[in-house]
A = this chain, B = another copy of it.
Amino acid sequence: MRVPLEGLPERVTIYEVGPRDGLQNEKAIVPVADKAEFVVRLADAGLRTIETTSFVHPRWVPQLADAGELLDALSRSPHLRYPVLVPNERGLDRALDHGVAEIAVFASATESFARRNLNRTLDESLAMFAPVVERARAEGLWVRAYVSMVCGDPWEGDVPIEQVVSVATRMMDMGCSQLSLGDTIGVGTPGQVTALIEAMVAAGVGTGRLAVHFHDTYGQALANTLAALRAGVTTVDASAGGIGGCPYAESATGNLATEDLVWMLDGLGVETGVDLAKLAATSRWMAGRLGRPSPSRVVQALSPGD
Question: What is A's interface to B at a CB cutoff of 8 Å?
Answer: 1-5, 8, 151-152, 158-159, 186-192, 194-195, 216-220, 222-223, 225-227, 249-251, 253, 257, 260, 263-264, 266-269, 296-298, 300-304
Contacts and interface: CB of A to CB of B under 8 A. Distances in A.
B297 A218 contact: yes
Given A151-B1, A226-B226, A298 B219 contact: yes
A222 B188 CA distance: 13
State how many copies of this chain the complex holds. 2
Contacts of A186: 301
Contacts of A253: 297, 300-301
Contacts of A269: 191
A80 to B, nearest CB: 27
A152 B1 contact: yes
B264 A223 contact: yes
A231 to B, nearest CB: 10
A304 B5 CA distance: 37
How would you classify the secondary structure of chain A's contact residues: helix, strand, loop or mixed? loop
Contacts of A267: 187-192, 220
A226 B1 contact: no
B190 A5 contact: yes
21 contacts: A1-B192, A3-B195, A5-B190, A5-B191, A187-B267, A188-B267, A189-B263, A189-B267, A190-B226, A190-B264, A217-B297, A218-B260, A218-B301, A219-B263, A219-B298, A220-B264, A220-B267, A223-B264, A226-B226, A249-B301, A250-B304
A60 to B, nearest CB: 23
B301 A251 contact: yes
Nearest to A217: B301
A254 to B, nearest CB: 10
A239 to B, nearest CB: 13
B298 A263 contact: no
* Leading 4 A-B pairs by shortest Cβ distance: A189-B267, A219-B297, A219-B260, A3-B191
B4 A297 contact: no
Contact of A219 (B3, B189, B257): B257
Contacts of A300: 251, 253
B218 A220 contact: no
Contacts of A218: 260, 263, 297-298, 301
Contacts of A189: 3, 263-264, 266-268
Nearest to A8: B191
Contacts of A195: 3
A98 to B, nearest CB: 35
A48 to B, nearest CB: 23
A191 B4 contact: yes
Given A188-B267, A190-B226, A219 B296 contact: yes
